[in-house]
Chains A and B, each alone.
Chain A
Amino acid sequence: MMPHLDARYLLCPMPVIRVSACVAGLSTGEVLTVRCTDRGALNDLPAWCRLEGHEVLQAEADSSGDVVLTILVHK
């Protein structure tokens, strides 16, 4: 099953802290899906991924207003 992280109702920088902890347990090629309510995550998670070398496959707000990102892990 694809790893999934529920980071709803968390405010900056908690989504980054949770994603970072989650990614630490994954290996290259795995894809993590994250769901957030904090719109800032649309900027922060891609920025964090750029610094760490992970790839953001998708980042968008869905119909419920949640922000959903999929991240391809590179280590």
Chain B
Amino acid sequence: MENGKRKAIVLLSGGLDSMLAARLMLDQGIHVEGINFFTGFCVEGHTHAVREDRQKRNLRNSALHSAEQLGIRLHIVDVIDEYKDVVLNPRHGYGTHLNPCLDCKGFMVGKARAWMEQNGFDFIVTGEVLGQRPMSQRRDTFPVIARESGATDRLLRPLCARLLPETLPEREGWVDRERLLGLSGRSRKPQIALAAAYGFTYAQPAGGCCFLTDANYTHKLKDLWRSRGERRYDFDDIMLLKIGRHLRPRPHFKLIVGREAGENRFLEGYRNRFVHMWALDHNGPLVLLQGDANEADLDLAASITARFGQGRGALKVRVAVGRPGGPLGERDVKPLPAHALAAEWYL
């Protein structure tokens, strides 16, 4: 124990609650460091960082921003591969969309527990509030998280600890239970007042969490699984679902159409993974093609590419087609007329 201080690892999401939980620990003289897990689905800079039209906003990782305000170290850990099992086979099922919140919490606290043990820390802290989230923040699910993560009574939830059974850090007197809070329910007023008292700035009160709660995003993910005939994904798949317009004109292929310069630039990075196309004689998007396309499909894809560019009113547009490893020629196409762009193609 450095300077006799007890050490806590805080799951720092970038939202307000975990920042307040960390601050309550600092106020009690605990040595605090933050840990943040990148699952691939996190709502972080991502799409915002890609789109040039949104770059004027102050883009920053909110967990890092929280850590800076707290003056603590932050460990950002890539859990993309391990997290797949949580998404694909959640023991406790999904929330409204594809969000396996209870399994996800158990997984993250479990990772934090392993980190705590490896690094000689004493306990784990989260910003959970009793009754705030329907699936994972309930009186009956809190013990599930503590048990399945293996954290047991080394898991402290300072924002609502007064409403919960005593944990090891309280029993041992490492923290004073009297100075912990008893927040519950969905109201955010006490947290917002505390944030103001501490002078914190934060992204959104609830802390963004992830794309697995997003109807549009999960619709695209399910489409991907359907088209492959199996539920699996890799990192690039889930990144690309956040970028561009997605259209599936035929069951066996889909197109990802860049919406503006920033997205086109990002899609450039995938030229060596997919067949791709762009108009030569007009400005327009870079389009990636995922799936198998025959000659007729390539013509259709090229006419859609022309449709989304500035040559949409031209009689003919020359579209270059590339594939991993080199060019696949050029073709002259008539831009697809607006009425032929079927609404059901859009994902």
Interface residues of A (CB under 8 A from B): 8-9, 11-14, 16-17, 20, 37-40, 42-44, 47-48, 50-52, 65
- Please judge, given known A-B contacts A17-B38, A40-B61, A43-B58, whether A12 and B269 are in contact too, CB under 8 Å: no
User: CB distance B44 to A12 under 8 Å?
Assistant: yes
Closest to B242 in A: A11
Q: Tell me the smallest distance from the CB of B34 to a CB of chain A, in Å.
A: 9
The binding surface of chain B is classed by DSSP as mixed
Alpha-carbon distance between A43 and B45 when the two chains are bound, in angstroms: 11
Alpha-carbon distance between A8 and B268 when the two chains are bound, in angstroms: 11
Alpha-carbon distance between A11 and B55 when the two chains are bound, in angstroms: 13
Alpha-carbon distance between A42 and B320 when the two chains are bound, in angstroms: 34
Alpha-carbon distance between A9 and B271 when the two chains are bound, in angstroms: 12
User: CB distance A48 to B64 under 8 Å?
Assistant: yes
Q: Tell me the smallest distance from the CB of B218 to a CB of chain A, in Å.
A: 19
Contact of B64 among A38, A42, A44, A65 (CB under 8 A): A44
User: CB distance B76 to A16 under 8 Å?
Assistant: yes
The binding surface of chain A is classed by DSSP as helix
Chain A residues near B64 (CB-CB < 8 A): 13, 16, 44, 47-48, 51
For B42-81 the 0/1 string (1 means CB < 8 A from A) is 1011101110000100111101110110001110111000
Q: Tell me the smallest distance from the CB of A54 to a CB of chain B, in Å.
A: 12
- Please judge, given known A-B contacts A50-B68, A51-B67, whether A13 and B44 are in contact too, CB under 8 Å: yes
- Residue B274 is within 8 A (CB to CB) of chain A in the complex: no
Chain B residues near A11 (CB-CB < 8 A): 44-46, 49-50, 239, 266
User: CB distance A17 to B65 under 8 Å?
Assistant: no
Closest to A8 in B: B269
Chain B residues near A40 (CB-CB < 8 A): 45, 48-49, 59-61
For B182-224 the 0/1 string (1 means CB < 8 A from A) is 0000000000000000000000000000000000000000000
User: CB distance A38 to B45 under 8 Å?
Assistant: yes
A to B CB contacts below 8 Å, 20 in the list: A12-B49, A13-B38, A13-B42, A13-B45, A13-B76, A14-B38, A14-B78, A16-B76, A39-B49, A40-B45, A40-B48, A40-B49, A44-B60, A48-B64, A50-B68, A51-B67, A51-B72, A51-B74, A52-B73, A65-B265
Closest to B265 in A: A37
- Please judge, given known A-B contacts A17-B38, A39-B59, A44-B60, whether A9 and B76 are in contact too, CB under 8 Å: no
Closest to B36 in A: A13
Chain A CB within 10 Å, residue with most, of B48, B49, B68, B73: B49
Chain B residues near A9 (CB-CB < 8 A): 266, 268-270
